[in-house]
Amino acid sequence: MRYQRSSILFKEAQKVIPGGVNSPVRAFKSVGGTPIFIEKAKGALLYDKDGNTFIDYISSWGPMILGHAYDPVIKAIKMRLEKGTSFGIPTALETEIATLALDMIANKDKIRFVNSGTEACMSAIRLARGYTNREKIIKFKGCYHGHSDAFLIQAGSGAVTFGSPSSPGVTQGTAKDTLLADFNNLDEVIRLFDEYPEEIAAVIVEPVAGNMGCITPNHGFLEGLRSICDKFASLLIFDEVMTGFRLAKGGAQELLGVNADIVTYGKVLGGGLPVGAFAAKKQIMRQLAPEGPVYQAGTLSGNPIAMAAGLSTLQILNADQEIYTRLEKKTENLELGFKEILNNKGIPYQINRIGSMFSLHFTEQPVVDFQSATLGDNELFKNYFHGMLDQGIYLPPSAFESYFLNDAITFSDINYTVEAFRKVISKF
């Protein structure tokens, strides 16, 4: 059995960890089978406990943009470790990475570091509510902003109604302040503002969605959100936990040319360690404690080990602008290779790509929102996933997740992946 050791480890984990995993997608529920357990990683490769090697196309769900165990980042972590792991007291390192991050973002004045993307989005919503003195928010179906109660909301009877909890433990009281709209649908957003013109504190959106596959904004969608928020004196929040520092030095704001009022970050910002952040202009950020009345705190926020990893990563990205060109070219080659094979085979498909984010959907209909993302052939995706896994390619174990390429992936790796895909698809 190729994954015998992983199978044993999964059974052991299930005895002491709910579902055997500490984040649900890792359990392979969407694709079936036994999740593999990783021993180590280097560059573009993963090595599991059974001795198998895989080309990695999730990059720890985004942060490993430089590749795994990247030497300068590891060196920065080791050097910092020797000075202590946590203080709960300010360090100059926090100011250094904040200054660099704001320089790369370019249109924000201040940034606050937290420990995860969930925490960043949760804090951004609280800040928006405190700044506007309003309570309701608009989010989009299929956009994931972490597991804070306000975000675990699904659609009610329609986009102009209140949401309802999509997880036990989320109260109806919380759900009533979260309004739902379809991604890429400005008309629904306008209807919500028409119904609640003075109650909506903020619109929060992934400028490029990554949790219903990779879905890019239609032309004018983000610009429309910016205009609507300006008209109704609401804040526009970009959740750039995935896209920040990945799609461009300044993230999706820079690449797509639309500025949000508050932007959340994570993933790449931590260089592989748990980090989140949110940034805004000073008139908004001055509302945060200890300057203002909106409370937000965290003992491990600005942890020196995470700050060292993040600073090293940002310094490399800031110095090497060609990295984004290389990543896009590699991802484009992957797309073209897949398309040629799928077209020859006559299999219905949609490929969505922007920069180094990519997703494949087995459907004839363009995937532009959550509803269209659900129309893909999930059985075909399962066979595709396991076929590629057996060829030594690790893909997201869900049709509703984006691929993330890293700079350590070579064009030779891309060619191997395309040929592996050819073998897998030939059996369909």
- The residues annotated with a catalytic role in the active site are 144, 239, 267
| CA 283/CA 196 separation, integer angstroms | 25
In the block, tokens 């949110």 appear at: 278
Report CA 268 to chain centroid distance, whole Å: 10
Length of the chain: 428
> Other CB atoms closer than 10 Å to residue 417's CB: what's the count?
22
- C-alpha torsion sign, points 33, 35, 39, 43: positive
Instruction: Quickly tell me which residue has 């059995």 as its tokens.
Output: 1
Question: b or e along 7-16 (b: 16 or more beta carbons within 10 Å of the residue's beta carbon)?
Answer: bebbeebeee
For residue 425, the Cα-to-chain-centroid distance in whole angstroms is 28
Give φ, ψ of 204 to 5 degrees. -115, 135
Whether 334 contacts 418, CB under 8 Å: yes
- In contact, 205 and 264? CB cutoff 8 Å: no
Question: What is the H or E stretch that residue 279 is in?
Answer: strand 276-280
DSSP string, 131-165: HHT--EEEEETT----S-GGG-EE--SSTTSBPEE
Is the distance from CB of 274 to CB of 113 less than 8 angstroms? no
DSSP 8-state assignment for residue 43? B
CA distances for 327 relative to 288, 336, 409, angstroms: 37, 14, 9
- Residue identified by tokens 């359990």 is 27
Count of Cβ atoms closer than 10 Å to residue 428 Cβ: 12
Contacts of 119 (CB under 8 A, 6+ apart): 146, 276, 298
Could you tell me which of 280, 230, 266, 274 has the C-alpha nearest to residue 127?
A: 280
